[in-house]
Amino acid sequence: MSAGRDGPILSVRGLRTEFPTTRGRVVAVDGIDLDVMPAECLGVVGESGSGKSVTFLSMLGMVRLPGRVSGEVRFDGRDLLGMGARELRELRGRELAITFQDAQMALNPSLSIGSQILETLAAHGPAGSRRLFGRDPGQVGRAIEMLTRVGIPAAAERLRDYPHQFSGGMRQRAMIAIALVCNPRLLIADEPTSALDVTVQAQVLDLIAKMRRELGMSVVLIAHDLGVVAEHCDRIAVMYAGQIVELGPAEAVIEAPRHPYTQGLIASAPWLSDLTRELRPMPGSVPNLIDMPEGCHFAPRCPFRSDACLRPVAMRTAADGRQVRCIRPEAVA
Amino acid sequence: MTATAASAGAVPRASGSITRQNLRTFLSDRFGVLFTAIFLGFIVMAILAPWIAPHDPNAGSLLRRLQPPAWLPGGSWAYPLGCDSLGRDILSRIIWGARVSIFIGVVVVLIAGAIGTFLGLVAGFLGGIADTAISRMVDVLLAYPLLIFAIGLMGMMGPGLMNIIVALVCFEWVITCRLVRAQTLDVRNKEYVEAAQAIGLSPLRIMFSEILPNIVSAVIVVATLRVGTIIIIEASLSFLGIGVQPPTPAWGTMIADGRVFMLAAWWVSSFPGIAIFLLVLSANLAGQSLRDAFDPRLTR
Amino acid sequence: MTGAPLLQVRGVSRHFDLRNGLERLYKPAARSLVRAVDNVSFDVWRAETFGIIGESGCGKSTLGRTVLRLQDPDAGSIVFDGTDITRLGRRALLPFRRRMQIVFQDPYASLNPRRTVEDIVGQPLRVHGVGRAAGRQAAVTAMLERVGLPAESLQRYPHQFSGGQRQRIAIARALVLQPELVVCDEAISALDVSVQAQVLQLLRQLQRDLGLTYLFISHNLAVVGHFCDRVAVMYLGQTVEVGATRLLLAEPRHPYTRALLSAVPQMRRADRRPRTLLTGDLPSATRPPAGCKFHTRCPAAMDVCRTTPPALATLGDGRQIACHLHPG
């Protein structure tokens, strides 16, 4: 079965990831429901330990044992969690691509950039062009084209360069080139710019936006910086302690946040556009996954907490379609 | 004031010091505990040799010459592992030999460890000329085949327990030194070392009270591993006749003595061989599980 | 801003030689020398917060360490409260170490994992022989309370605390000797967003209570904008623009400051402006461009920029700028 034209390209229901540890079971991802629509850019924000990266690694079968993933993940109607490792690998390079925060770690240091692109092409490219020995000139041309498109000057010469000969920004570009070389339908960019300087960050984010327009793909942009997500995404999912606490159109979430955590996050972030705005810090710190508060995970830091918050809180949908995980009536009013 | 106090969050629960946590990790590793126990058993055996050895290790009798172990025809339970070419009890000689082997292994590693740690700290922390001088010396010594170097030194100084120790220390410090230097270079750039500098601590105090505690566990672990190697080298030297001199029982000498009778009386060489094997294996595995438990990079 | 500045930095340079001992014998120095800090001058006044902003590799952290004499400058002078400390030996420097301290970026690396909190925070007191044991413990407890940590923390180890709490410990250690100048080197950058504001608020509270002067090094323009009175923008080891924070961020004049500001992502749509995107990456530190070091990426580069390095000129509004477009 295949999802209709207008249906979501990625659909997640009840995703849960657990890791057994010596000090008890850790629930890193705690019931995620999420849809990514075709050609949409979805932003996922959260602090360290919010589970934002693990969520997407879990969907792609990239969580190592003894981690356990359950729930339902459908990509274009196909069930990802039930898929065999081989099938998943095929899909991962071709239709579904992922880039990581640390390009230095994600690129193989002892292979040239060119051969890493060609490797991807050889594994996932059109079947007729596979060759055992030598390079397919068509594929080399495609690799050069891809590097040029991501903004690497003199791409033909740099094909032979190794990752360490690239700067941080160029490595991130090269990783994006590798991810996009097979025209994927969904790109998951995990903190693509957190390791980069602000001027280079702007370049890379603009590049991702440009590639999204050109390839008509969907993008999931994972970041800890609200500004990054606000600028580039259509919708925002705010994650806290393994759960999505707020989900809605980017502008609405930023201008009128409804979950106390989102409100706190925005109130505590300094704005360049308003230097006199007083920062209101959120008390406490992100809870340890080992002893997660019962009920609402944010309750211990929440200014509005009541006894009712000690019971688990479900995601609620407001009339305007925004979703908030909070029991206060005004959250979904 | 109260506002900031409230916003810092709860104090963590006490979960014991790092060392106690490491100890718990270590104890949960059954294999490690088993081999550590065997290694400790050898040490106890060496210490208690005069009381637990059934016979005088040097009392021989030609009547018992090459007597086989107890379970073979002609053997007796009075001499469970049989006797050597002079009719001395092999078990007693192994028990006494453990003293020599372990003493040399431990003393060499201790002395060499102290020297190597100091020079490694100096080289790694001070850098510059001190580093160049020490590192080049280390490179030169490492380029020498170890056994040839020891044979040469022993040739110059003559055999004897003290001379073996001196000869072994002469190259053994290099191992610790190289390790400590590398670890120091790593730790030196940690911000807490810079913080100590900002406070105004002297270089010597930074080396010994800031850096050393953070690398000492690695040194201890490697030292445990090196005890095995040193025991083998000492056995090799004794085997070659330039180590511990007869009649002092040493495992290497015992193997050398027995090699002439290998076909007729295999037990003379085999039992000390097994003893070396077991001691070195248990020392190594004990060292490895210590490392797994104490290496901060492996602690979760 | 009356009297003499607390800290005067004059023409300070700090170079790194990338060659090892053997290579020094045959390799020419010119190609292996990194000018991490290159002829930097500024003043910091008592009780002000002076920000240093720039991207990675611009030399801001080296500058902070050089000011504290954790690294020795290759040229220039550092004057602290009227005394030239540039060439003081370790012992002569000790009284000044009490008066200037540092808080590092990574609270996981800046606290010795083998020591208890009491040991860490009390160490500066012991080194400088302040008070007796009982008095020292009281001082440590008081300081912990000041930074928002309860007295039960004394016997705990750093790994038992969260990132934000660890940074509070690091701040307590820096402040226990009651210094006048505190260098904050990316002191909140490693913390979670929701904790950054807490620590920032604590630093401000402490500044008010203790009359501290901060040298606040950061790559985050919004944080510097909120926290600092004056700011210096650094590029490849040099300051390109120095002035009052409000002025500099509202009306940046140097093309690099402008580019830096326009690259910061804005949360609200109304605040977004068209980007002036910089092309390319930071040039190699061992072979910086001739003339103005920024000309290779500057959207307004002229011929003169490729040959002549611009001097730092003071404009009418009090800011200093090193750019041929603004000759002063």
Q: For residues C53 and A113, which has the higher predicted lDDT (pLDDT)?
A: C53
B20 touches chain C (CB under 8 A): no
The answer to whether the Cβ–Cβ distance between C110 and B202 falls below 8 Å is no
CA nearest A285 in B: which residue? Answer: B9
| The CATH number, out of the four listed (3.40.50.300, 3.40.390.10, 3.30.930.10, 3.30.70.100), of the domain defined by the range C7-21+29-321 | 3.40.50.300
> Which of A187-191, A267-271, C213-217, C219-223 is most confident?
C213-217
Of all residues in chain C, the one with the smallest CA distance to A265 is C194
Residue C2, pLDDT score: 56
pLDDT tops 50 at residue B16: no
Average pLDDT over residues A16-28: 85
Mean pLDDT of B62-78: 79
Element (H, E) at C23: none
Lowest mean pLDDT among A111-120, B170-179, C166-175, C243-252: A111-120
What's the whole-number average pLDDT of chain A? 85
pLDDT score for A5: 55
pLDDT digits (tens, 9 = 90+) for A206-252: 888 988 998 899 999 999 888 899 999 999 999 999 999 999 999 99
What CATH number is given for B102-300 in this structure? 1.10.3720.10
Query: Model confidence over B214-223: pLDDT tens digits?
Result: 888 788 878 8
- Residue B150 above 90 pLDDT? no
Contact assessment for residue B199 and residue C123, using Cβ atoms and an 8 Å cutoff: yes
- Model confidence at A283: pLDDT above 90: no
Rounded distance, CA C121 to CA C176, Å?
A: 7
Residue C25 burial by CB count (10 A; 0-12/13-18/19+): exposed, middle or buried? exposed
Q: What is the mean pLDDT of chain B?
A: 81
Cross-chain Cβ contact C193/A224 below 8 Å: yes
Residue C283, chain A, CB below 8 Å: the answer is no
User: Which helix (H) or strand (E) segment is C36 a member of?
Assistant: strand C33-44
Non-local CB neighbours of C190 within 8 Å, separated by 6+ positions: C105, C106, C107, C108, C163, C167
| Residue linked to tokens 């090699």 | B259
Q: Give the CA diameter of chain A.
A: 68
User: Nearest residue of C to residue B211 by CA position?
Assistant: C112
Fold of A40-60+83-240: Rossmann fold (3.40.50)
Give residue C291's region: left, alpha or beta (phi > 0; psi -120 to 50).
left
- Helix or strand holding residue B32 (H, E): helix B30-47
For B18, which of C68, C106, C113 is closest by C-beta distance?
Answer: C113
Specify the pLDDT at position B14. Answer: 42
One-letter amino acid for residue B126 of the chain: L
pLDDT of residue C25: 73
Question: What local confidence, expressed as pLDDT, does residue A20 receive?
Answer: 86
Contacts across the A-B interface (CB distance below 8 Å): 9
For chain B, percent of residues with pLDDT exceeding 90? 11
Mean pLDDT of chain C: 89
- pLDDT beyond 50 at B11: no
**Residue B295: which pLDDT band, with cuts at 50, 70 and 90?**
low
For the record, the structure tokens of C313 come out as 């000129």
Q: Determine whether the interchain pair C109/B4 forms a contact, defined as Cβ–Cβ distance below 8 Å.
A: no
Answer whether C265 sits within 8 Å of A202, measured CB to CB. yes
Contact between A281 and B7 using a beta-carbon 8 Å cutoff: yes
- Domain range summary for chain B, segments of one domain joined by +: 102-300
More confident residue, B19 or C87: C87
DSSP class of C153: G
pLDDT for position B285? 83
What is the 3 state secondary structure string of chain A?
A: CCCCCCCCCEEEEEEEEEEEECCEEEEEEEEEEEEECCCCEEEEECCCCCCHHHHHHHHCCCCCCCCEEEEEEEECCEECCCCCHHHHHHHHHHCEEEECCCHHHHCCCCCCHHHHHHHHHHHHCCHHHCCCCCCCHHHHHHHHHHHHHCCCCCHHHHCCCCHHHCCHHHHHHHHHHHHHCCCCCEEEEECCCCCCCHHHHHHHHHHHHHHHHHHCCEEEEEECCHHHHHHHCCEEEEEECCEEEEEEEHHHHHHCCCCHHHHHHHHHCCCCCCCCCCCCCCCCCCCCCCCCCCCCCCHHHCCCCCHHHHCCCCCEECCCCCEECCCCHHHCC
pLDDT at residue C292 above 80?
A: yes
ipTM of the complex: 0.85
Reply yes or no on whether the pLDDT at B229 is more than 90.
Answer: no
C199, C229, C246 from A271: Cα distances, Å: 17, 16, 13
| Measured distance CA(B169)–CA(B157) in Å, rounded | 14
Cα B4 from Cα C148, distance rounded (Å): 5
pLDDT of res. C7? 95
Angle between helices C193-210 and C163-175 (to 10 degrees): 20
Domain ranges within chain C, ordered by starting residue: 7-21+29-321
Q: What are phi and psi of B133, to 5 degrees?
A: -60, -50
Amino acid at A20: P
Residue C29 has pLDDT above 80, yes or no: no
**What pLDDT is recorded for position A125?**
60
Range from A121-130, A158-167, C204-213 carrying the lowest mean pLDDT: A121-130
